[in-house]
Amino acid sequence: MRQAIPGQRDSRRYRSRLLQPEAERHADTHPLTWRLRDDGEAVWLDDYLRKDGYQSVRKALDDGDPQAVIASMKAANVRGRGGGGFSTGLKWSLTLQGGEMPRGYLVCNADEMEPGTFKDRLLMEQQPHLLIEGMILGAYANNSCYGYIFLRGEYVESARVLNLALDEAREAGWLGADINGSGFDFDIAVHTGAGRYICGEETALINSLEGKRANPRAKPPFPGQSGAWGKPSVVNNVETLCNVPAVILNGADWYQTLSGGRTDDGGTKLYGISGPVENPGLWELPMGTTGAEILERAGGMCGNRQLKAWLPGGASTGFLLPEHLQLPLDFDTVGKEGSRLGTGLLTVVPDHQSMVALMRNLEEFFARESCGWCTPCRDGLPWVVKLLQALEWGEGEEGDIELLDKLAADCGPGLTFCAHAPGAAMPLQTALKHFRHEFEQGVRKPGSKAHQDPIPVGEV
């Protein structure tokens, strides 16, 4: 029997990491990551408290004005870091509260599953108390009685670290009844999922939290009006919530300066890059950092490869070209170029990669992960996959590309319950726009042999 080499298996174990050493990170410039340790171990409560931990909660509860928390978030213009880019302060100001309205729920969307995205994992595995602190502030602002961290089931290490940190916070009186003598009660549970990308859609997430199939709900009513169990509910991404403590502690004006005039959006962003680059990874950088700088930090493309195209923030964003590398990566600028900032984690495509094959891979993902609720998504996406498969094999028919245009248009915004289908349409439409000739090459020439193998049916 072959002898296992000790340690080799462990050396292949994946560990989340930030590619910025502690010496480069400071409290006034890196609100999300300055506390992270170079050894990659989690920042536990003692360490966290030494680094200003829970000071924002103390401040907000001492001030005693939840509306002031919302006002600060609005002024700071913290935009949703899960990819939506909606103003967090505005979302919170729309949560029903007061009068006869029962207290609702604060739900942290930790269902990180957007292809190409690996940022929330880092925050949860290495700095769980920052998320807990942000959630306490969110709950205070929105009058939430209880919080859930909706965590994807595969994030086993995140679950372990978060549960230990929640125990620590509870033990120290930062969670539970009468937090820090304020009279405010709030606690948090980790709710782990069991797969399915659609759980990241906020209304599908609420259905999943309630123990149902994760189909999206019609909006309105929005979760802030009627969410989990009909109560006002706020759903925020992990990174979004991790921004709240520094905003409350240092103020909206300070937060605005973090982006250094690169963009109207304030703050920093956990940017990252993956695909065939020399050093794929994550960095906390000013909002509005360019794609060029991120690619440079990653040491450029692998080997002698050239950049052909890139996705700015996950599979559901539109393809950009090398010429777009100079643009500041913020929500509005990227939006104007026909894409979306999304999660802000770049995926690069090398020059030798077939765009048809890549699109087939992306659409297989969207087709498989469709919840099946709406027809354009449930039936349209598998059809898209079959067409792309045929084009990839050089067996496309005349009209297939026009059909792809049509199917993508039918998945557009407003035609389905949620953003899953529009998310599937955007990369396809931009790929067809920028690389149409590649798709055209997949159409069978007149006189060439008929399909050697039938296109598989029912495999997606």
Partner 1 sequence: MATTPQTTGLIGSDGFHLHPADEAAMLEEMAHYEQPQAACIEALKIVQRRHGWVPDEAIVAIARVLGIGPAAVEGVATFYSLIFRQPVGRHVVLVCDSSSCFLTGFDELKRALVSQLGIDYGQTTDDDRFTLLPVCCLGACDGAPALMIDADTYGPVSAGDLPDLLEGYP
Single out the segment in contact with partner 1 by CB under 8 A; choices: 68-76, 130-138, 227-235, 262-270. Answer: 227-235
CB atoms within 10 A of CB 37: 13
Each residue 185-204 as x (binds partner 1 by CB under 8 A) or -, in order, gives: ----x-xxxxxxx-------
Encoded tokens for 352: 């030798």
Q: What is the DSSP string of 123-146?
A: HHHH-HHHHHHHHHHHHHHHTEEE
Nearest distance from C-beta of residue 58 to partner 1, angstroms? 27
Cα 79 to Cα 367: distance, rounded to the nearest angstrom: 29
Cα 208 to Cα 200: distance, rounded to the nearest angstrom: 10
Each residue 293-322 as x (binds partner 1 by CB under 8 A) or -, in order, gives: ------------------x---x-------
Q: Which of 353, 412, 434, 440 binds partner 1 (CB under 8 A)?
A: 353
Residue 270 binds to partner 1 (criterion: CB under 8 A): no
Residue 90 binds to partner 1 (criterion: CB under 8 A): no
Nearest distance from C-beta of residue 296 to partner 1, angstroms? 16
Instruction: List the strands of the sheet with 104-110, edge to edge.
Output: 187-192, 144-151, 104-110, 233-237
Q: Is the sign of the CA dihedral 50, 51, 57, 62 positive or negative?
A: positive
Residues 6 or more apart in contact with residue 425 via CB below 8 angstroms: 408, 409, 411, 412
Nearest distance from C-beta of residue 286 to partner 1, angstroms? 21
Torsion of Cα atoms, 324 then 330 then 332 then 333, to 10°: -20
SS (H, E, C) 162-186: HHHHHHHHHHCCCCECCHHHCCCCE
Residue 133 binds to partner 1 (criterion: CB under 8 A): no
Each residue 5-44 as x (binds partner 1 by CB under 8 A) or -, in order, gives: x--xx--xxxxxx---------------------------
- Chain centroid offset of residue 421 CA: 17
Q: Which of 77, 95, 208, 429 binds partner 1 (CB under 8 A)?
A: 208
Q: What is the DSSP string of 206-256?
A: HHHHTTS------SSSPTTTS-GGGS-EEEEEHHHHHHHHHHHHH-HHHHH
Residues that bind partner 1 (rule: CB under 8 A) add up to a total of: 67
Q: How does DSSP classify residue 444?
A: P
Residue 275 binds to partner 1 (criterion: CB under 8 A): yes
Nearest distance from C-beta of residue 359 to partner 1, angstroms? 10
Q: Which of 131, 135, 209, 244 binds partner 1 (CB under 8 A)?
A: 209
Single out the segment in contact with partner 1 by CB under 8 A; choices: 34-42, 234-242, 344-352, 385-393. Answer: 344-352
Q: Which of 38, 46, 210, 351 binds partner 1 (CB under 8 A)?
A: 210
Give me the amino acid identity at 394. G
Q: Which of 66, 116, 227, 286 binds partner 1 (CB under 8 A)?
A: 116
Residue 115 binds to partner 1 (criterion: CB under 8 A): yes
Give which of 348, 354, 365, 353 is closest to 423, Cα–Cα: 365
Which residues 228-257 are close enough to bind partner 1 by CB under 8 A?
Answer: 228-229, 231
Cβ–Cβ under 8 Å, residues 427 and 315: yes
Nearer to partner 1, 358 or 384 (CB): 358
Containing 389, the helix (H) or strand (E) segment is helix 380-392
Nearer to partner 1, 146 or 383 (CB): 146
Nearer to partner 1, 193 or 442 (CB): 193
Nearer to partner 1, 73 or 123 (CB): 123
Nearer to partner 1, 212 or 219 (CB): 212
Grouping H, G, I as helix, E, B as strand and the rest as coil, residue 3 is coil
Each residue 145-174 as x (binds partner 1 by CB under 8 A) or -, in order, gives: -------xxxxxx-----------------
Q: Which residues pair with 396 in a beta bridge?
A: 443
Q: List interacting residues with partner 1 (CB under 8 A).
A: 2, 4-5, 8-9, 12-17, 112-118, 120-121, 152-157, 189, 191-197, 208-214, 228-229, 231, 272, 274-276, 280-282, 311, 315, 345, 347-350, 353, 358, 361-362, 364-365, 368-369, 371
